[in-house]
Amino acid sequence: MQHDETPNVDPVAVGLVGSGPWAATMHGPVLASGPETRLTAVWARRPEAATELAATLGTTAANSYEDLLDRCEAVAFAVPPDVQAALAIRAAKAGKALLLEKPLALNLDDARRLADAVDNAGVISQVVLTKRYHPRTRAFLTAAQDFPAIGARASYLHGAFLGGPFATGWRMTYGALYDLGPHLLDLADAALGPIADLTARGDSRRWIELTCQHEDGAVSQLSLSGAVGLPSSRAGIEIFGATGAMSLDFATVDHAECWPIMRAEFAAAVRTRTPHSLDIRRGMLLQELLSRAVCRATE
C-alpha cells in the first residue's frame, strides 16, 4: 500500500551508505531535512569522502559499516547495485529497514539473495523509483486503470553516459537497460498490466529496444539510451486504445516534488510496519524482467 501521511511519531533514524553525487544531491539532503527522518551517520568506502559529506549534511561519519548499523534503524543506499546487494543483506540481517536504489543488484542471483534476506528478517523495504513518487505520475497511472489500452510507446533518452558524474563504472558496463530500464518497465507494467513476456534488441551501452507483451494482450515498445547527444533528456510514456491516447512526459518532472513524498512514505512504512507498494517484491519483478531482457538481447 501507499501512505498519504506519516503518523506523528519520532523521526526514523536513517544511516546513509555512499558519498557520491547521488548521495550528496538526493539521499543525504532529503533524509537530513526531515521531518519524518533524521540522518544519523554517513558511511562510505572512502572515509574522507564520507567525512566531507557528513559535515555538509550536519551529521557525522561512521567509523565502519557496523558502526553505521549501530547508529540507525533504517539504511539508505546510494552505491553501485552490486555493492548495495551485499551490504543490504547485512543490514537486513541486523533488522534494519532498507531504502534501496534500482536495480537491486547486477545479477538475478544476488537480487534473490537480498530478497530472501529481507523476507527472512521481516524488515521493511522500499525502492527509489523516482518517477513513481510524483503526483503527476500517480494521476496518470490512476487514469490508466480505466483506459482500455492496446499498446504503448515509451522512451528514456539522454547523454549522461557520454561524460559527467553519472558516467560511472557500472553504468558504462551495463548501460541504459539496468539504469533507465527499471523506470520504463515499472511504468509500462503499472499502466498496461503485468508484463508476461518481452524481447530485446540492440546494445544497452548504445541503444536498446524492448518489446513487452502484457497479460491482457497489450504490447508496449520501450526505447532506452544514455548515449545520445541531447541538450536535455526525453522521457515519457504514451498509451493508445480505441478511445484515444494518454501520455506522461516525465523528462520535466521536478524531483523536488518527489522526495518529500518518498521520505514520508518510507517513514510511515517503517513506523507502521506496513509494506509499501514499491517494496522488495516490486524490485524483484523488475530485476527478473531485466535478466530476461539480457538473455533475449544476446540470443
Q: What CATH code is carried by the domain that includes residue 49? A: 3.40.50.720
Residue keyed to cell 547486477: 106
Q: Are residues 244 and 262 in the same domain?
A: no
Cα 12 to chain centroid, rounded? 20
Q: Are residues 86 and 50 in the same domain?
A: yes
Q: Are residues 106 and 149 in the same domain?
A: no
Q: Is residue 295 part of a domain?
A: no
Nearest of 237, 288, 18 to residue 131 by alpha carbon: 237
Which one-letter amino acid corresponds to residue 68? L
Give residue 196's pLDDT band: very low, low, confident or very high (50, 70, 90): very high
Q: Are residues 153 and 81 in the same domain?
A: no
Here the cell at position 132 is 513513481
CA 25, CA 33: separation in Å to the nearest integer? 12
Q: Is residue 166 part of a domain?
A: yes
CA 248, CA 122: separation in Å to the nearest integer? 35
CA 133, CA 91: separation in Å to the nearest integer? 25
Q: Are residues 139 and 242 in the same domain?
A: yes
Here the cell at position 84 is 548495495
CATH value at residue 205: 3.30.360.10
Range of the domain at 187: 135-253
Q: Are residues 150 and 239 in the same domain?
A: yes
Q: Are residues 232 and 261 in the same domain?
A: no
Domains contained in the chain, number: 2
Give the pLDDT score at 298: 65
Question: What pLDDT, in 10s, does the model give residues 217-234?
Answer: 999 999 999 999 998 899
**pTM for this prediction:** 0.94
Give the pLDDT score at 252: 85
Q: Are residues 39 and 68 in the same domain?
A: yes
